[in-house]
Amino acid sequence: MPKYANEFNTLNFVIKESQDILLFAHSRPDSDTVGSVLALREYIKSLGKNVDIACTDPYPTYLETLSPNYFHFPQALDLKKYNLVIAVDSVERGFQKIIPDFAENQVIALLDHHPDITIKGDINIIDPNYSSVCEIIYDFFEFNKIKLTRNISTFLLLGILGDTGMFQHSNTTVRVMEIASNLMKNGAPITKIINIAFSNKNISTLKLWGRAFEKAKINPENGMIVSVLTQKEMEDCGATADDIAQVSGILNTVPGTKFALILSERNDGIIKGSLRSEEYKGVDVSRIAAMFGGGGHRLASGFEIKGKIVETENGWQVV
């Protein structure tokens, strides 16, 4: 029996008993949360139920070639009408704010793979051992013998590719490859997904990466590779916060480094630190993030501090 047999059983039972179902994606939606809601939507639709998708941010335009946009802003929906609400990958990324709006008789299911989640729903499948929520949903479909249509397979592979960094992160397990292989057997077009969702880079992204890479420095004492991006640079390149997401991951590929840190200025005098390492380097970056009041995974963490980045003779200072 799979670890979550009870939960998978209950969730499928409640789906079948419900007439109106709400799927909740996290703010600034990534491919895992999008793939998760789209795959669940496909299944729930096939049962003849009403299903809506809520998200506090718009559907990513680059994914429009994979699926039409079914996203609604939560304020545009009558949240009280749903029998079941399934929050995917979003427990502490937007969904926590909306939980108080639901009534006692509405069933809440939480599907997540982030660590340290304290919020509880009625059905909880929260496990950081999963690469992605799409992997959880795959197990849910397999357990309940739900047919993997070509669309479902495409959406699940989209999320798995995203959260494993296209099979490059340490969460790429034997099971992940087995699932990916099955999804391909069921028609998921892996090359097309990669081209649409991951290979295309905006010129703004490349320019911003150029700035960050040019300024990168290695600290030989602790093996840190660090770079900074000021708000002005972000504006000059017309870049958004999304564009810097992968910078620390790429910096981390430099031989001899133990971990990468990218500091970026955000609105309201906030500086965001993004930390990355790799399994073989033996560094727990979540401990570094915790020193600055942040958190995350062992190999990918972040924190936020107040201040401004100023260049000095010896590098940068946060003032």
Q: Is 127 in the site for Mn ion (CB under 5 A)?
A: no
DSSP category for residue 19: S
Q: Determine if 112 is a binding residue for Mn ion (CB under 5 A).
A: no
The Cα-based distances of 313 to 210, 216, 218, 307, 317 in angstroms read 21, 15, 15, 19, 10
Least distance (Å) between residue 32 CB and Mn ion: 3
**32 binds Mn ion, rule: CB under 5 A:** yes
Beta strands per DSSP E along 79-216: 84-88, 107-112, 123-126
Strand order in the sheet with 270-276: 217-219, 224-229, 259-266, 270-276, 300-306, 295-296
- Closest contact distance (angstroms) between CB of 162 and Mn ion is 7
Instruction: Tell me which residue has its CB nearest to Mn ion.
Output: 32
Tokens of 129: 């051992």
Span interacting with Mn ion, options 93-101, 155-163, 254-262, 290-298, rule CB under 5 A? 155-163
Contact predicate 131/172, CB 8 Å: yes
Decide whether 158 or 271 has the Cβ nearer to Mn ion. 158
* Cβ contacts of 215 within 8 Å, gap of 6 or more: 227, 228
- As measured in angstroms, the least distance from the Cβ of 156 to Mn ion is 12
Minimum gap (Å) between residue 29 Cβ and Mn ion: 10
The H or E element that residue 318 is part of is: strand 315-318
Q: How far is the CB of 89 from Mn ion (least distance, A)?
A: 4
Residue 316 CB, shortest distance to Mn ion, in Å, is 31
Q: Between residues 7 and 32, which has the closer beta carbon with respect to Mn ion? A: 32
- Between residues 165 and 223, which has the closer beta carbon with respect to Mn ion? 165
Cβ-based nearer residue to Mn ion, 163 or 265:
163
- 132 or 230: CB nearest Mn ion: 132
Residue from 52, 135, 139, 163 that binds Mn ion (CB under 5 A)?
Answer: 163
Site size toward Mn ion (CB under 5 A) is: 4
Nearer to Mn ion, 106 or 132 (CB): 132
**Nearest alpha carbon to residue 208 among 187, 225, 231, 189:** 231
- Under rule CB under 5 A, which residues in 240-269 are in contact with Mn ion? none
Instruction: List CB contacts of 64: < 8 A, sequence separation 6 or more.
Output: none
- The site for Mn ion (CB under 5 A) is made up of 32, 89, 132, 163
